[in-house]
């Protein structure tokens, strides 16, 4: 008889090597079932299993803190809340951030797609983080629909309005994180620069897909799974945009806006 062993879900994972933040310990407030208001074509988790913009408590804060306390927090640069989907969907996000800060002084970062920033309660909870990186992959509704594939009712104009409102009240460090899948023409670049000027973030982070996408959802996708040795499941990879295009565009953004632009080292 074969006995099936179910592996206990761990809400804390890593550390993960991040080109933006260094040695990062991941916090997953979403859980085993990937849940997001986007279903990005390049998502390193694979296809999102539950697509929603409705908030709820997925994992109790006590569980997350218990998992966190099993890790050595000394040899870390940051603690990053991201995981198996959109972290602002977690109704207890603010409580999680406060609890983390009670046991460590490591900076707490939240990676968000910005779709819920029109909600004052989401903005209030997210403002408890030290740093926030907000996704902005498209400068037109068509781009957002093709690349990010949001749930019904989510539109770019509302995302941008929410980001701007959040930025105005956020006391921490905010970056705009953009995944470029193909080189942009001058019109797209100009529209993006206009949006960046309007938002006025501390930093712009330009990227092109370097991590593969599993054919089916994989929890291991939360971390660094770019090499075949780090995974045991089939994936698809993406053609990356020429690093020189990214660098040139980044320099153009900085030249025109004065806002620092960073990109993955080639």
246 found inside a domain? yes
Nearest in space to 164 (alpha carbons), one of 155, 176, 182, 147: 176
Tell me, what's the pLDDT at 5? 32
| Range 247-264 average pLDDT | 94
Nearest in space to 154 (alpha carbons), one of 120, 123, 115: 115
Number of domains making up the chain: 1
50 found inside a domain? yes
58 found inside a domain? yes
Question: Given a cut of 60, is residue 6 above it in pLDDT?
Answer: no
Cis upstream peptide for 181 (omega within 30°):
no
191 found inside a domain? yes
135 found inside a domain? yes
- Containing structural domain, residue 31: 12-263
Average pLDDT score over the chain:
90
Dist. CA 224–CA 13, nearest whole Å: 11
Strand 22-27 to 35-36 pairing = unpaired
Strand 203-207 to 260-263 pairing = parallel
Dist. CA 190–CA 255, nearest whole Å: 13
Considering only residues 234 and 181, tell me which one the structure prediction assigns the higher pLDDT.
Answer: 181
Question: Given a cut of 90, is residue 219 above it in pLDDT?
Answer: no
User: Which DSSP symbol is given to 219?
Assistant: G
43 found inside a domain? yes
Nearest-Å Rg of the Cα atoms of the chain is: 18
Listed in sequence order, the DSSP H helices in the chain are: 61-68, 93-103, 120-126, 141-147, 156-169, 186-199, 243-257
Dist. CA 258–CA 152, nearest whole Å: 36
Residue 54 burial (CB count, 10 A): 11
Dist. CA 226–CA 106, nearest whole Å: 26
Tell me, what's the pLDDT at 233? 74
84 found inside a domain? yes
Tell me, what's the pLDDT at 225? 53
Question: Given a cut of 80, is residue 72 above it in pLDDT?
Answer: yes
Q: What angle do CA 168, 109, 199 make, to 5 degrees?
A: 25
State the pTM of this model.
Answer: 0.89
Tell me, what's the pLDDT at 89? 98
What CATH code is carried by the domain that includes residue 18?
3.20.20.70
7 found inside a domain? no
Considering only residues 90 and 234, tell me which one the structure prediction assigns the higher pLDDT.
Answer: 90
């Amino acid at each position: 008889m074969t006995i099936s062993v179910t592996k206990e879900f761990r809400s804390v994972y890593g550390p993960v090597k991040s080109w933006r933040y260094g040695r990062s310990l991941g916090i997953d407030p979403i859980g085993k079932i990937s849940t997001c208001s986007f279903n990005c074509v390049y998502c390193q988790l694979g296809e999102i299993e539950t697509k929603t913009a409705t908030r709820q408590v997925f994992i109790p804060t006590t569980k997350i803190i218990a998992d966190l306390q099993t890790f050595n927090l000394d040899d870390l640069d940051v603690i990053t809340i991201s995981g198996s989907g959109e972290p602002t969907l977690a109704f207890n996000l603010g409580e999680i951030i406060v609890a983390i800060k009670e046991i460590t002084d490591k900076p707490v970062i939240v990676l968000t797609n910005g779709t819920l920033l029109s909600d004052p309660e989401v903005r209030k909870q997210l403002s408890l983080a030290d740093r926030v990186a907000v996704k902005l992959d498209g400068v037109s509704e068509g781009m957002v629909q093709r690349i990010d594939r949001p749930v019904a009712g989510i539109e770019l104009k509302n995302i941008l309005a929410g980001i701007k409102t959040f930025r105005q009240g956020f006391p921490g460090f905010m970056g705009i994180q953009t995944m470029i899948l193909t080189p942009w023409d001058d019109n797209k670049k100009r529209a993006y620069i206009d949006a960046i000027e309007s938002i006025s973030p501390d930093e712009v982070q330009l990227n092109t897909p370097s991590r593969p996408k599993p054919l089916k959802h994989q929890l291991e996708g939360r971390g660094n799974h770019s090499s075949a040795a780090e995974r045991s499941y089939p994936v698809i990879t993406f053609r990356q945009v020429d690093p020189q295009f990214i660098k040139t565009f980044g320099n153009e953004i900085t030249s025109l806006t004065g806002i620092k632009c960073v990109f993955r080292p080639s």
